[in-house]
Structure 1
Amino acid sequence: MACTTILVGKAASYDGSTIVARNEDSPNGQFEPKRLEVVLSQDQPRTYTSVESHLCFELPDNPVSYSSVPDALPGHGIWASAGFNEHNVGMSATETITTNERVLGADPLVVYQPAQGKPEDANYVPEVPGGLGEEDFVSIVLPYVNSARSAVLRLGSLLEQYGTYESNAIAFSDSNEIWWLETIGGHHWIARRVPDDAYVTMPNQLGIDSFNLNDAEGAQLEHMASADLRSWMELHHLNLALNGDESVFNPRISFGSKSPSDHIYNTPRAWYMQRTLNPSDAWDGADARYTPESDDIPWCRVPEQKVTIEDIKFVLSSHFQDTPYDCYGWKGTRETRSAYRPIGINRNSQLAVLQMRSGDEPGAAVQWMAFGSNIFNALVPLYAQVSCFPDYFTNTSARVSTESFYWANRLIAALADRHYGDCIQKIEAYQQTLTAFGHQCIARYDQLLAGLPRVQAQPLMEEANQLIAEKLKEETDKLLSTVLYIASCKMMCGFSMSDNERSE
């Protein structure tokens, strides 16, 4: 699953929030419809079975309710993606990452093995369940944790017990901190706390570029890891540093990949996000500190100014604007404009921005949502601590319908793509209108919610969400009408009598 993530510490964000944001992208050639829902505590299963790996195990008692962005169509598992639980803990899972052959040889992925033959056969071999994966993580972790740290420890213990069949990275947040966990082979993992004054960019690569084993084995102030990580690394010669303290190493070098395909698919995305948030650095030309193909772009850095929701939406919708690599641009050549994989891509399924504001009030957790291709969609805020979300977000089905936010954006994007120059101003106006309305609505309802207990706050939060959904549908319908008209006028079969007239 291809995705792009940005994490923003509370001292680096515009309002003191911790912010976790991730594009979920469908695999190449697929478009996986998504929807938004609340999983109530009474609806959480007590026995969990993974569709992909056939792994089955018991879940703890007393789960809490949580928001979720699952696949809309059945058959592939839940893929809950992102959400907040009742304790205002956020989770986004997952960013697919890369690793190397040494790691996979030292700790192989736990892959499902189908049964061979029939049970009545003498040589029958029963199936062997695989490990955990992106399909599972949110559903088996988020309902059972009360802080970002406790979420790291729960997922870490599950990975050690059951393993994973793929390489992934997961974000956890609360009002105080953000943690980023990366799987290492089948059963090992590392996690690092995002510095409060920094942001993190993640483009489908193992990203952490500095790790302190002493801290992970001791106070765990900034680092956590599998208990046997040090001895396992020593046994398999995974620390590649030539000299220095073996307790501090670069996981990206030890565990990650470094291939030409990374330079096409992954590193350009980190380059553009950091180019946007730290524009004073040298990013272009012969004197560039980092290029789109640099392997040492930092995992985290301090931005030049505080990061806003609009900054996050821009970078997670970007297609290398104002560079020779923009697929919709005029700079460079035809070759450069198709050289790198953009962040805003046709296969974007959903964008969830988990904004955890200070305090533990019910309204502190705001889940900003967009569906479909980010270049053409709008991002709007929703209070997360509710019993249900508006139909416009939840009613995605296999049937294409303008009554669904997901499908409405898919239609707009497909129509506008070929007429980008004619449509983009209309789309940008639409995006600005809705984000501004969202800020306005949240600010107004924050005042109404101040000091209210959860039981009284919830109806007000649901009322705010419904107002935002109604405005979103109204503006989306208008944009679809406009884009349809523009695309219709540009059809190749267009003809009128005046087309053949010549002026004398």
Structure 2
Amino acid sequence: MSCTTILVGKNASFDGSTIIARNEDCPSGEFCEKRFSVSNAAGKKTYKSVIGHLEVPLPDGGGRYTCMPNADLKEGLWEAAGVNAHNVAMTATETLTTNERVLAADPLVAYKAAVGEPGQDGYEAEQVGGIGEEDMVTLVLPYATSARDGVLRLGALLERYGTYEMNGIAFSDVDEIWWLETVGGHHWIARRVPDDCYVTMPNQLGLDSFDLDDALGEGREHLCSPDLREFIQKNHLDLSLDGELNPRDAFGSRSDADHVYNTPRAWDMQRWLNPSAGPWETAAAHEEFGPESDRLPWCRVPERKITIEDVKYVLSLHYQGTVYDPYGHIGTPATRGLYRPIGINRNCQLAVLQIRPYVDEKRRALQWIALGSNAFNALVPFFTQVDEVPAYVSSTPRTVTTDSFYWANRLIGAMADASYSACLPHVERYQEKLQSEATRLVHECDEAAGDPAAANQAIADAARKRTDCLLGHVLFARSAEMRNGFSRSDN
């Protein structure tokens, strides 16, 4: 599953919040319908995955949490991102790359169907798979009491059951953000995001430094599998010349595909958030500040504090102002399609999880959501400490309907893409007005100590009104550019 992640430490954010955010993108050739929901793990005893056929016993103490599950459950829940009753947030997962050395040393735990029937010659029993993106939010978020606790629970599950894919997972609470990366089938590493930094993650194993002594000792800023040092030494995975472990070199990849599909996305985000650090646009592709550089850092201190609008913008980027912009007029047809954008047609949902330190716990967490292609949608906040969310965002039927926030946004994106210049002013006004109105409704609820569920309904009503209006504008603009138009009128 292709995705893009940004993490913002509390001293790097505009209001002291911790912010973790991720685009969930569909695989090529697919469009996965998503919906916003509230789930509750209380009383649930077991969980069985659809992809891996793995059955996992669940502990006591599970509670309520928000999530972004698939509308079609043929491949499982895929709950993606949410905030639990303890105001702990989780987003899972960012698919990562790896290398042959790691996979040879600790193979992924893939599901294998049974061969033949019991008692027959050559019969092979079913081999269950490990856990993956389908399962992680469901298995971890309802039970996590802090960001660190979420890391440790997921790490224990990985060690016991393994995984069938390489993934990165973010956890946050009001004080900390942690980033976990899987290593092979059963190993993992995790690092606390520095409070004054942001992190960019574009489908590559990202950590570029790691303190094994801290991870295997006090665990103040780093955590990992208990046997990771021996695993690295036995399999000769540390490629450093100075003894300073670089996980990106040890566990990650450095392929031609990375330089087209992954690395340029980190470059695009970092050039926006640190414009003076460059030269970004004039650097050669593989130089330190170029779009194919292998030296872009995992985390940076931004040039100014990062807002929610910044997070939405960078997770919607399509190389604006460069020769790589598919909607641009500079460069050539070849450059305008060279690199994979962040804001892509296959964005299915964006979750921005904000934990605010200055608000009481009942209203502390916001889950900002956007559905469909990020180049054309708006980001809308919802309080998470509720038992249900409005139907406009929770209902995504299999049939296309403008009664659904997901489907309305898909329709807008498909039409606006084809009439980009005509539709862009309407889209930009929509994004600004809806986010402003929704944020005002959040402020009013905060100041009056109001009912979060009522505020959520008011926000959903505003989202529907403005989205329906945008749909009308986009439909008109697209209709005016139909090929069978003719200028002479007979009325």
Provide the TM-score with structure 2 as the length reference. 0.97
Distance (Å, rounded) in 1 between the aligned partners of 2:311 and 2:32: 23
Q: What is the one-letter code of the residue matched to 2:483?
A: M
Alignment match, 2:221:
222
Q: Are 1:470 and 2:470 an aligned pair?
A: no
2:483 — aligned with what?
492
List per-residue Cα deviations over 1:376-434 (Å, max 9, x = no partner). 11101100110000001111011100000000000001111011001001000000001
Letter of the 1:170 counterpart: I
Mapping for residues 413-424 of structure 1, pairs under 5 Å: 413-424=413-424
Offset of residue 284 of structure 1: 2.0
Matched residue, 1:253:
249
Q: Distance in 1 between matches of 2:365 and 2:459?
A: 16
Mapped pair 1:153 → 2:149? no
CA distance in 1, matches of 2:237, 2:152: 24
Native 8 Å contact 2:87 2:355 kept in 1: yes
For 1:404, the aligned partner's letter is: S
Give the alignment's Cα RMSD to 1 decimal: 1.2
User: Paired residue for 1:373?
Assistant: 373
2:263 alignment partner in structure 1: 267
CA distance in 2, matches of 1:208, 1:258: 13
Partner SS state of residue 171, structure 2: strand
Give me the whole-angstrom Cα distance separating, in 1, the residues matched to 2:40 and 2:131.
23
Aligned to 1:3: 3
Aligned partners of 2:288, 2:129: CA distance in 1, in Å?
Answer: 43
Deviations 1:323-382 (CA, angstroms, capped at 9, x unpaired) = 111000111111110000000000000000000011661100000001010011110110
Instruction: Quote the residue 1:40 is aligned against.
Output: 40
Equivalence for 1:454: none
What CA distance in whole angstroms lies between the structure 1 residues aligned with 2:362 and 2:250? 42
Structure 1 position 6, deviation (Å): 0.2
Q: Which amino acid aligns with 1:182?
A: E
Q: Is the 8 A contact 2:40 2:142 kept in 1?
A: no
- Specify whether residues 22 and 286 from structure 1 end up closer, same or farther in structure 2 by C-alpha distance, changes over 3 A only: closer
Structure-1 separation of matches of 2:463 and 2:489 = 40
Aligned-pair distance for 1:119? Answer: 2.4
Equivalents in 2 of 1:286, 1:171: separation in Å? 31
Moved more, 202-211 or 275-284: 275-284
Shift of 1:242: 1.6
Q: Secondary structure at the match of 1:78?
A: coil
Instruction: Determine the C-alpha separation between the residues in 2 that align with 1:438 and 1:209.
Output: 38
- SS for the counterpart of 2:62 is coil
The residue type equivalent to 1:272 in the other structure is D
Which residue of the partner structure matches residue 13 of structure 2?
13
SS at match of 1:211: coil
- Alignment correspondent of 2:324: 325
Q: How does 1:204-215 map to 2 (within 5 A)?
A: 204-215=203-214
Q: How far does residue 498 in structure 1 lie from its aligned partner after superposition? A: 6.5
5+ residue gaps, structure 1, are 450-456, 500-504
Report what 1:502 is aligned to.
Answer: none
For residue 120 of structure 1, report the CA deviation from its aligned partner.
Answer: 4.3
Report the alpha carbon displacement of residue 318 of structure 1 after superposing the two structures with TM: 0.8
Tell me how far apart the structure 2 counterparts of residues 67 and 205 of structure 1 sit (CA, whole Å): 27
Q: Is 1:401 aligned with 2:424? A: no
2:443 aligns to what? 443
Change (3 A) 1:41 1:107: closer
Q: Which runs of 5+ in 2 are unaligned?
A: none
Q: Secondary structure at the match of 1:328?
A: coil
Residue in 2 aligned with 1:101? Answer: 100
Structure 2 contact 283–290 (Cα < 8 Å) conserved: no
Report which stretch shifted further, 308-317 or 54-63: 54-63
Output the TM-score relative to the length of structure 1: 0.95
2: CA distance, partners of 1:122 / 1:289: 59
- Within 1, Cα distance between the matches of 2:254 and 2:20? 26
More displaced 10-residue stretch of structure 1: 271-280 or 54-63: 54-63
Q: Distance in 2 between matches of 1:414 and 1:145?
A: 39
Instruction: Tell me how many residue pairs correspond in the alignment.
Output: 486
Tell me the residue number matched to 1:453.
Answer: none
CA–CA separation in structure 2 for the residues paired with 1:62 and 1:497: 71
- Moved segments of 4+, more than 6 Å: none
Return the letter of the residue paired with 2:71. Answer: A
- Give the Cα–Cα distance (whole angstroms) in 1 for the partners of residues 138 and 453 of structure 2: 23
CA deviation after TM superposition for structure 1 residue 121, in Å: 2.0
How far apart, CA to CA, are the structure 2 residues paired with 1:57 and 1:20? 27
Alignment partner of 2:266: what SS? helix
SS class of match (1:75): helix
Report what 1:292 is aligned to: 291
Asked if 1:313 is matched to 2:304, the reply is: no
The Cα of 1:122 is off from its aligned counterpart by: 3.9
Match among 443, 451, 474 for residue 483 of structure 1: 474
Please name the residue that 2:75 is paired with. Answer: 76
Percentage of pairs with the same residue: 58
| Aligned mates of 1:250, 1:54 — CA distance in 2 | 35
Quick one: distance in 1 between partners of 2:159 and 2:323?
45
Task: State the 1:106 CA deviation.
Answer: 0.5
| 3-state SS in 1 of match to 2:85 | coil
Indicate yes or no: 2:29 matched with 1:29: yes
